[in-house]
Amino acid sequence: MSKTILITGAGSGFGKGAALALAARGHHVIATTETSEQANALTSEAPQLQVEKVDITNSSDVAKISAWDIDVLINNAGYGQTGPMSDIPDDRLRKVFEVNVFGTVAATQAALPRMAAKGSGRIIIMSSIAGVLAAPGFGPYAMTKHALEAMGKAMRAELAPQGIDVCLINPAPYNTGFNDRMANSMWEWFDDSSINAPAAEIHKMIGQMVTTNQMDPIEVVNRLVELVEAETTTENNFVPENIRELLNL
């Protein structure tokens, strides 16, 4: 049965892939992007999508969500930031929380009243393997994904009595470009004057590990399609399924 699905952060990566795949399967997809430029580009490329500019950190943009009668919300929009916790600038730490945590909560709260009114709906939260693992240098990002784990688990229990399903998806590193940008982000401000400068080589090594041999994002896209169409979901959905065993988690 065709569903109306809103995807945040659909201008690239998992969000864009899922939007195209779900539309091809007959669903009505509202693909949202952070900027108007991204929206225009996606509209030109994929006229089968309803493309809207929704910056989830902008309250006026987020208010648009409450007007759409959606069956599934995929909270995919995210921002990556790396660097040692002892040195991370306050503004950079706040930004990653504003997007990944507060923006995701705001988008979800905007979608929920209509779902509650009809007694059905699904919220899919883009977590990460970083939601259960915090590697050196990736603390700022992992903090936000740990927060989303708490959000998703609490809301799954809170909203089930209203017929609303909440689940999390936890990808390992996939080749969308996101991880590469995130791994490089700390070098925009980190320098040898840092108290953590002796650990710089460790951060470089971890960054290289995360960005080497990344997997094909179609695996995550396919899992998102499955979660949208499934009768029921599990709380966490790791992609690939054996990633926790591979990392001894």
141 catalytically annotated: yes
- Spatial separation of the C-alpha atoms in residues 99 and 221, rounded to whole Å: 21
From residue 172, alpha-carbon distances to 84, 122, 216, 228 in Å are: 21, 23, 11, 20
- Spatial separation of the C-alpha atoms in residues 155 and 247, rounded to whole Å: 27
Q: What is the CATH number of the domain that holds 241?
A: 3.40.50.720
CB 92 within 8 A of CB 83: yes
Domain count of the fold of the chain: 1
pLDDT, average across residues 67-74? 98
Q: What is the pLDDT of residues 5-37, one digit of tens each?
A: 999 999 999 999 999 999 999 999 999 999 999
CB 73 within 8 A of CB 123: yes
Q: Which of 141, 174, 190, 238 is catalytic?
A: 141
72-75 and 50-53 strand pairing: unpaired
Output 2 or 210, whichever has higher pLDDT: 2
From residue 14, alpha-carbon distances to 32, 195, 233, 249 in Å are: 13, 36, 19, 24
pTM, rounded to two decimals? 0.94
pLDDT at 205 over 90: no
Residues 138-164: b if buried by 16+ CB within 10 A, e if exposed: bbbbbbbbbbbbebbbebbeebeeeeb
The rounded mean pLDDT for the chain is 94
Residues 6 or more apart in contact with residue 227 via CB below 8 angstroms: 122, 124, 167, 169, 233, 237
- Spatial separation of the C-alpha atoms in residues 181 and 231, rounded to whole Å: 36
- Spatial separation of the C-alpha atoms in residues 171 and 126, rounded to whole Å: 8
Q: What is the pLDDT of residues 169-191, one digit of tens each?
A: 999 999 999 999 999 999 898 87
50-53 and 164-171 strand pairing: unpaired
Range of the domain at 19: 4-246
- Spatial separation of the C-alpha atoms in residues 46 and 51, rounded to whole Å: 9
121-126 and 72-75 strand pairing: parallel
